């Protein structure tokens, strides 16, 4: 494949941040024995961490920030996830209705914000991508969302066409549309196959072209490989799409960018066939379903550092996921640096971030805090706390975070969506939760040992009652430790 002209110095030509949503309540649902009745997701938390609740001025600053971090493109969506976050008022009802297909959501002012933000993005030189779920439709007449509508069922098709038309109206503000077909989409009813999805892609793009004749498009292969989340019959891999000849040559194909699923061979297959390829990354710099402050320096360094030299020519665009808003700035900064130069030192990029965000005098402390969080908090956190968490390291992190002090005259080195002092407070809250959890686990292990040695039940019960606690979150996104604490406490009581 012929080398394409790239912006001077940048390894990945189109470096894009996807502005997504954290599944904030999902943590409770997965780990807390009280599920969505845990009550640890407050209105304040939604206000702070869910971007559909931010005002436009702050959202514009977000775009200024990602541009300053080295990205030149942004991906946004007007989808049910944002309505869930914007319509947090009755979370219990949402969870109850999620059990059945077709829950109700409230888009509020998010569709308009998407257009306004896309316009702003273009005004500062960013390219814009619109994310569209292919057959996970939303009926704007009834405000109901549907996981997987059938394009071959006349009644469901009618909802889909209504939904596609709503999406297409955004196209005037966008340069590129990417359609997604797996998790939660897919259909195997009424003769649907992966060919149906490709026909639907073409129809969505055609509708977009009526509003934006020059719009480019990508068909996402995200999750189509998965037995659980890819449900279109007939899909065997990128070759299925390439060989079917249903998508025009200009339609790009994008592959999974999640490090555990990323397959560079698919990029080669697609580009060898003369088609451009993108990488749609999820679970790379953020954990959408278990939102917390994760530090992904090593994860990002491994992913970008592991790209072969010819990725420069073969990868037309590469996204980085941003879902855990404001607690992920360090990851976005490091990713922005590595997209431009995958051979850059990720740790050094983290230091530069710390200097720009918190001031040169705080670099050593802040980097140590972030490094400790990366070491103690597993990105895949399903069994977090099943093994001990190093109490002294967790305490060190909290104590260093407490010492971070922002000078009155400090001005950050780049635009920020929260102030340096707010970031310092976040680091402190996160490390305090970590330290509380580590102390709890340590003490709980002691109680378990006493119980196993035959201590009287009354003594064991008394010991459980006085175990160190993890505070219930009120303002900070510290659910990871809180929900796992409830899970471990519940398990301890049962044994």
Name the one residue in this structure whose structure tokens are 């519940």. 490
Tell me the C-alpha distance between 454 and 95, whole Å.
Answer: 42
- Smallest distance, Å, CB 187 to Zn ion? 3
Position 101 contacts Zn ion (CB under 5 A): no
Tell me the C-alpha distance between 424 and 129, whole Å.
Answer: 32
Position 150 contacts Zn ion (CB under 5 A): yes
The region of 93-101, 144-152, 355-363, 429-437 touching Zn ion under the rule CB under 5 A is: 144-152
Structural element, H or E, at residue 43: helix 43-49
Binding to Zn ion (CB under 5 A): which residues in 160-219?
Answer: 187, 189-190, 192
Q: Which is nearer to Zn ion, 92 or 158 (CB)?
A: 158
- Smallest distance, Å, CB 156 to Zn ion? 8
Q: In the structure encoding, which two tokens stand for residue 405, read together?
A: 């002090």
Name the one residue in this structure whose structure tokens are 């989808």. 79
Q: Which is nearer to Zn ion, 187 or 460 (CB)?
A: 187
- Nearest 10 degrees: CA dihedral of 126, 330, 253, 157? -80
Position 152 contacts Zn ion (CB under 5 A): yes
The binding track of 270-309 with respect to Zn ion, each residue x by CB under 5 A or -, is ----------------------------------------
* Strand pairing report for 138-139 and 144-145: antiparallel
Burial 462-492 (b: 16+ CB within 10 A, else e): ebbeebeebeebeebbbbbbbbbbbbbbeeb
Position 44 contacts Zn ion (CB under 5 A): no
Q: Which is nearer to Zn ion, 192 or 429 (CB)?
A: 192
- Smallest distance, Å, CB 188 to Zn ion? 7
Q: Which is nearer to Zn ion, 187 or 366 (CB)?
A: 187
Burial 311-333 (b: 16+ CB within 10 A, else e): bbebbbbbbbbbbbbbbbbbbbb
The region of 105-113, 142-150, 164-172, 431-439 touching Zn ion under the rule CB under 5 A is: 142-150
- Smallest distance, Å, CB 181 to Zn ion? 12
- Smallest distance, Å, CB 102 to Zn ion? 16
Tell me the C-alpha distance between 187 and 178, whole Å.
Answer: 19
Q: Which is nearer to Zn ion, 23 or 135 (CB)?
A: 135
Triad 392, 398, 404: Cα angle to 5°: 135
**Cβ contact 41:24 at 8 Å:** yes
Position 142 contacts Zn ion (CB under 5 A): no
3-state DSSP assignment of residue 292 = coil
- Count residues binding Zn ion (CB under 5 A): 6
Q: Which is nearer to Zn ion, 229 or 264 (CB)?
A: 229
Q: Which is nearer to Zn ion, 192 or 307 (CB)?
A: 192
Q: Which is nearer to Zn ion, 4 or 189 (CB)?
A: 189
Residues that bind Zn ion (CB under 5 A): 150, 152, 187, 189-190, 192
């Amino acid at each position: 494949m012929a080398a394409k002209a790239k912006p001077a110095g940048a390894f990945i030509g189109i470096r894009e941040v996807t502005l997504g949503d954290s599944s904030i309540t999902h943590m409770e649902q997965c780990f807390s024995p009280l599920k969505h009745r845990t009550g640890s997701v407050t209105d304040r938390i939604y206000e702070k961490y869910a971007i559909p609740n931010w005002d436009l001025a702050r959202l514009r600053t977000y775009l200024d920030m990602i541009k300053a971090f080295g990205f030149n493109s942004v991906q946004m969506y007007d989808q049910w996830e944002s309505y869930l976050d914007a319509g947090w008022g009755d979370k219990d009802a949402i969870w109850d209705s999620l059990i059945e297909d077709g829950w109700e959501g409230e888009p509020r002012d998010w569709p308009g914000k998407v257009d306004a933000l896309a316009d702003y993005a273009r005004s500062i030189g960013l390219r814009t991508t619109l994310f569209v779920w292919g057959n996970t439709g939303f009926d704007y007449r009834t405000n109901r969302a549907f996981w997987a509508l059938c394009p071959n069922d006349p009644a469901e098709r009618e909802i889909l066409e209504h939904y596609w038309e709503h999406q297409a109206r955004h196209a005037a503000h966008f340069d590129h549309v990417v359609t997604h077909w797996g998790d939660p989409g897919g259909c195997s009813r009424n003769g649907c196959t992966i060919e149906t999805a490709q026909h639907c892609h073409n129809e969505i793009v055609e509708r977009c072209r009526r509003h934006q004749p020059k719009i480019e498009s990508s068909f996402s292969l995200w999750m189509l490989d998965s037995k659980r989340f890819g449900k279109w019959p007939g899909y065997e891999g990128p070759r299925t799409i390439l060989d079917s000849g249903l998508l025009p040559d200009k339609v790009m194909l994008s592959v999974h960018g999640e490090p555990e699923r990323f397959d560079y061979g698919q990029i080669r297959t697609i580009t060898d066939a003369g088609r451009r390829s993108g990488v749609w990354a999820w679970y790379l710099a953020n954990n959408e379903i278990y939102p917390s402050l994760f530090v992904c320096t090593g994860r990002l360094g491994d992913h970008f550092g592991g790209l072969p030299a010819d990725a420069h020519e073969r990868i037309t665009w590469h996204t980085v996921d941003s879902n855990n808003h404001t607690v992920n700035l360090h990851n976005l900064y490091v990713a922005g640096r590595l997209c431009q130069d995958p051979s850059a030192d990720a740790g050094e990029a983290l230091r530069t971030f710390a200097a720009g965000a918190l001031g040169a005098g705080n670099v050593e402390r802040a980097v140590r805090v972030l490094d400790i969080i990366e070491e103690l908090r597993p990105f895949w956190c399903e069994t977090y706390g099943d093994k001990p968490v190093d109490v002294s390291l967790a305490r060190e992190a909290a104590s260093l975070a407490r010492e971070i002090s922002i000078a009155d005259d400090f001005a950050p080195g780049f635009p920020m969506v929260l102030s340096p002092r707010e970031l310092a407070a976040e680091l402190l809250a996160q490390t305090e939760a970590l330290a509380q959890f580590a102390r709890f686990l340590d003490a709980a292990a002691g109680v378990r040992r006493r119980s196993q040695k035959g201590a009287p039940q009354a003594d064991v019960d008394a010991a459980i009652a006085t175990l160190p606690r993890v505070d219930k979150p009120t303002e900070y996104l510290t659910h990871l430790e809180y929900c796992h604490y409830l899970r471990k406490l519940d398990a301890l009581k049962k044994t």
